[in-house]
Structure 1
Amino acid sequence: MSLHFTLYAALLLIAGLVSVGVGLLVRRCSPAPGQRALTWFMFAVAVWALANGLEMVAIGIPSKVFWSVVSYVGIVSAPVLFFIFALQYTQRDKWLGRGNVALLWLAPVITFSLAATNHWHGLIWSSFTPGPRPEDNILIYGHGAWFWVHVAYSYSLLMAAAIALALAAWQFHSIYRRQALTLLIGLPIPWLGNIIYVAGFGPIPGLDLTPFAFIVSGAVIAWGVYVWRLFDLAPMARDAVVEHMSDAVLVLDAQSRIADANPAARRLLGLDAAAFGKDLTTTLAAWPELINACRHAFQAQTVIRTERTEAQYLELRIAPVFDHSKHPTGRLVILRDITEAIRGAEAEREQRSLAEALRDSAGVLNSTLNLDEVLDHILAELERVVPNDAAAVYLIEGRHAQAARCRSRRGTIDDVLGRISWDISQTSNMRRMVASGEPVVVLDTHAAADWIRFPETEWIRSYARAPIQARGQVIGFLEVDAATPGFFGLREADRLRAFADQAAIAIENARLYTESRAGREALQAVNQELARRLDELDAANSELQARNAELDAYAHTVAHDLKNPLAQLLGYAELLQWERGDLTDENIDEALTTIWRQGYKMQSIIEELLVLAGMRKSDIQMQPLDMEAVVVEAQRRLEPLTKEYGVEFQMPTVWPVALGHAPWVEEIWVNYLSNGIKYGGRPPRLELGAGAQSPGGQVRFWVRDNGQGLTNEEQGRLFTPFTQLNQMRAKGHGLGLSIVRRIVERLGGTVGVESAAGHGSTFYFTLPAPAG
């Protein structure tokens, strides 16, 4: 047999040898759940890699196919063996009864049989194509239908195994979790290589990366065997979990006696050798919070606060301990000192609270430029920044400070502070603040020599003051009082100073505003009055122009469009009245028809004039329209005209919903349809249509006729009052399309026409579409 060695073949053979070595290494470990399955899994991988390596060195398609068939011994076995190992290792082997195991091997047996007999059916390999580079000696296999069944089955088993290991990694503790994670790290590497090969994304067509990946996977598993003692857990687990944890670990037996404690627990709780074997309540009498948390809890996770020399926070976790029969034998208690973390979080929360309070207060303080309102806001917002029982705002005028605002929960101090003008040079704490610009805190007023006492303020035991500074000058003071000694400290002084800086900005802005407010208000009032009168004048002028235009329209229509039909109607009526005996039946029918036509025309003109008049004053409400019903009503109104001209209508089966006012929209359709009947072809064929919603939120409707079409000049004169087209063919009053334009614009839409001479015309309008 001719052979052709390549680098890829050598790596495959190395992968096979590595897999054999890892399998032997696992086999030498102490017996444990999953050990045998993992051993055979590594041997299956070895067969896979070695056979693939021999396939790479073989020359000729028959030889390569032979070794590919041999490799399927490992290919079909590896997923099943790894799945069995995962269930055994994670203690889920109750699913591995004989019947289930036999079912697991059914698909691999079928797959191998089909591979061995592939030359008869091609269900595994559908084609064999030499690789693009002869020096690589690679054969590209086309995959048949059953190959994908095998891939799906194998990936399902590997996915189930990965889920089992992931759950174990989540449920296990410490070293057990690390062991499961080691297996999880080793599992995806070959799997990823196989996905790359199956998907055809490999660097070299036809090169299966899976066996190469087993070199890395085998190394990871070997590392887990040696470092984490994959199948020999007890000694390392005890050392890692109990002795070397920075957290305090207690082991309690079923009677809540201390069975074990790591060095961290002995240091934290002050335990000595005599504590072991004694009841929890006796040994930890100095830790009542811990006793209460552990007394009845079988499994818990919480935070306890102890009050010994100072506040201390401990994160407590309690977990059950089971024997081999899964009976509870005790509890594992883990304590972690999180005092510093809690204090850091409290400090961060304090800073965030201060920043939020100052930010919100700044918005409130600067929401007005009225000084009285600013002072009220300062007193109200001060409570949020520095909690207190009483507070005051002092403003400096010359050498004296006067309380501008004060508030108390413990009695009235307004009468006292409001009538006193403090001489700053004679008041020591105010004098110090003016000189230094720093706040002053008195922890206990009874021990303060410079505290000035009044009967109304005798209850005050602690206070803090901060200067209000603007433009480098102290313009006032903020004061907070409390009934508790030591209530205020450096923290409150810093917060008070920060708030005083904001108050200074607001007070200064209000004062500047007050100085110029009168002039601005007067000027603003003049400007507003002038603008109002100009707006009224413009509105009145526009209204007058509109009414004059409408009056002209009424006069023109009444004078011209109603005069002729009325004259004909009266003439024929007079003829029928005085000369009926001399008329033939044909003459009478002609006269009656003319009377009916002119009366119908006058009725149409009057209806349109009423619509036009109503549009000027109506306050309509836009509603979703049943457009089909509106169109049917318009056709009913035009029924005499329709019968006379023999009109053929083409209408859509479904109308889109638009917003409008039904009586007005009906008038639009009446005008468009009557124009199409009068000016369309003979007989008229009218196509009614509706378009989908446009990007601007409009629905488009149209009437398309079969008439002669319109020139550009004629199109430009449409939709203006008293324009009549093709007057030789039909008589019109020239007001209809202008009404259409007015209606549509009032409803928030547009009108238009699309036409070319000799090709008919399309009159359209748009209406708003419903929201959503």
Structure 2
Amino acid sequence: MVVDVVGVLVAGSAAGALVSGVLAAGAWRDRTMPGTGPFAWLMVAAVGWCLLNVAWLTTADPAVATAVFLLTRLVSGLIVGLWVVFALSYTGREALFTRARLVALLLVPTLYSLLALTNPLHGLVTADVTQVMVADVTLFVGETGPVYLAQTALQVGFIATGYALFGEFLLRSRNLYRTQTFVILTAGLLTAGVQGLFVLGATPHPGLDITPLTFALNGGLVGVALLRSDFVSVTPLAGDLLVDELPDPVLALDTDERIIDYNAAATALFGTDDLGSRPVDDVSPGLLDDIERDEVFALGEPLSYYDPRTSAITDQHGGRRGRLVVLREVTGQQRRQDRLEALQAATRQFVEASQPETVAELTVRFATRVLDQNAAAVFLADDGALEAAAVSDGVGRAADELTIDPERTPDHELWRTYESGESRIADCFGLGTAMERALMVPMGDHGVVAIASADDSYATEDRQYASILAQTTQVALEQLQRQRELRESRISIERRNEQIEFFNGVLRHSLRNAMVVVQGRADYLRDSVGAEEEHHIDSITEWCARLTEMSDAIKDINETVSASESERLDAISLSAAVEGSLERAVDRDADVTVDVELADERVVANHLAEEVLTSVVENAVEHNTSDRPRVEIDTRHAGDWIQVRVADNGPGISDELKTTMFERSISNDQTAGGFGLYFVSVMMDLYGGKVWYEDNDPRGAVAILEFQRADAERDATAADATASTTEAQTKSHDD
């Protein structure tokens, strides 16, 4: 049977045109998908080549054959350029596209055909056709020259560039479409290989170009690879993204939240290997909501905890094609977190406990219920022995009265733990079968916590939590001890204060009565002495008044020291306090110059501020040995503070004495009379202020008293407080 070669080629070319046209239409319909637009134009060019090949094989007119030859060379050049454009687009390199580059990609491979079409104008190329008969087949054959060969070499370079782009993309680790890329690369090689055979003259007839026939085959392969399942499916998904051996369940979901792939761990979790193409919520209702919340959730039986980690699955163009969900198992972490939260909640109960026995019971309850231990007991130190303060239900009843006495059982493991302060796992005699062997953790000087597990095994985590529990128990017991000591100290202080107040009251009452008697006797004797002796009576009267006044001042000081801050402090006039202190400290007849420059300020203090300033001014006056004694008093602002500066021109104060001036041990002959500078430091501390000495320039010393400026609220209530305070002082002075 004689095969009609030309007929077969004509039919094949027609079929190639039909297939390429269908693929062009389909690709153009889905041209919004990356790479399909250039592919559509590539198929349009393929349709043109196939139809031109039909005309080439069927024409007998040399003029028509010449035109077809030139147009075929033009279309083949366009196909080469479109192949590179398609490769760039498919591999995600659209950013390289510019108008000039696109024009260059399409024109450079077609230079020969453009020159051939315009050959009558310049005669640079040879573009003739002649009829040649080989094996009884007569076909037109194109005559070419060096320019055609150069153009062919250039096209080979373009085609190789396209293959290089696809090859590089095939080897990318994040290429989700390896199968698809491989199909495109293989189909392209088929067409390029056949075209290469024609160019090299390895066909049965030099006029036979069977390249268009390959478009029917490779066009179908590429079209299916590109357009199947909306450009992405389970088939092209790279399997290495799922890591089948990963212990955590992994799900690959498409944009419709259907499972398109999964690993073995996911199969084990959901108990079925039929997960493909199923919606997530069909496999496990509510799982999608848990994934969307991006929080730890419980799943399975028995319950395990999973932390969902989601990452987008994108194609080479950055388009989202689904997401990869890794369900990271965090059961151990969640259990540790639950234990820590439970311990935090228990700590509040420890803090609120009022008895050591209550703390011990909380410890036992936490060890058995939260740490999931078999049994627990707490032994507290008491009179050189360990007494069972609390035991769990699993411990024998005899343990409730168990006492570890070192004189009788010095080698008992509980006592050795307490004495050494080191944790240990050892036999625990006397606590029944539930605690034959236990983890023993010391609680400092307070005792020992003993914890027993069902299988006598203690993981590192169990030991850590037992240590934390023992430390928490120790802190709670120490707090109870401090509270007990504080209560005892407070009771003792209150008792001492009551005793001191009683004796102070008796002393002040006796002193006032004595002064009344002395003053009465002095008044009686005044008429019995002569004028030259009357100054003795005046001295007695003066000291009686001063002692009576000092008794009242001591009462005020005691009340100020024992009062709360709100009761102790008021807003007072600083200038009034200074003026009052000058009247008391400076004798009008004294040979001393006093300069005062004060701002009208109100500070935080009380009525004893006048006594404080009096002591400082007296010290400046009485210790001034200058020929012309001088005292200067002024105020300065220091932020929210007001500094009262009392400067003298006396002998000054040594650096050593400056650091000890306000100590209780300083003697009155080193300062002034009255209460002295220790009283000043105590009161300034109660006022929240400071007092110190500096050198005066050029001679003397400067006492600086720093008061806090009174705020508006305290100043507004000062008038009401002053009235009530004055009334209370008047009554107290009459006591």
Shorter-chain TM range is 0.3 to 0.5
TM-score between both structures, scaled by the size of structure 2: 0.35
